[in-house]
Amino acid sequence: MRMVVMFDLPVGTSSQRRAAARFRTFLIQDGYNMMQFSVYLRICNGIDAVAKHRARVEAEVPQNGSVRVLVVTDRQFASMDILTGSYIIADISASDAQIGFF
């Protein structure tokens, strides 16, 4: 399973910027990979792991802003289409190497 964390956090003041940076740092340290700006992805091994990491994200959500968590199966994730124009996006398939660990 994969957890997708999407967020829109205010960055108008220096304290809001610090809170947003702390949240992003938490996600990276907790094993999430950036899919695109404000969208991070983590592989979880089952429903129990999803519940654990959802609770961890919920505990770190800044006061202001909006955070959404979407859980999809590997099959659903694999069916995602990546549509690009002339802008080259990062290859997120590198996170698939983590699945081999499980």
Tens of pLDDT, residue by residue over 7-29, are 999 999 999 999 999 999 999 99
Residue in this structure with the two tokens 């089952």, named with its chain if needed: 46
Amino acid at 43: I
Classify residue 102: in a domain, yes or no. Answer: no
Find the domain containing 56 and state its range: 2-96
Q: What is this structure's pTM?
A: 0.78
Q: Are 1 and 46 in contact (CB under 8 A)?
A: yes
Classify residue 26: in a domain, yes or no. Answer: yes
The structural domain count of the chain equals: 1
Classify residue 33: in a domain, yes or no. Answer: yes
Residue in this structure with the two tokens 């069916």, named with its chain if needed: 79
Backbone torsions φ then ψ of 28, nearest 5 degrees = -65, -45
Cα–Cα distance between 22 and 2 in angstroms, integer? 22
Q: Which residues pair with 71 in a beta bridge?
A: 3
For the ranges 25-34, 74-83, 92-101, the lowest mean pLDDT is seen at 92-101
Cα–Cα distance between 15 and 73 in angstroms, integer? 36
Q: What is the CATH number of the domain that holds 75?
A: 3.30.70.240
Classify residue 101: in a domain, yes or no. Answer: no
Mean of the pLDDT values across residues 59-83?
A: 93
Residue in this structure with the two tokens 């859980």, named with its chain if needed: 71
Beta strand extents in 1-102 (DSSP E only): 2-8, 33-36, 39-43, 66-72
Classify residue 68: in a domain, yes or no. Answer: yes
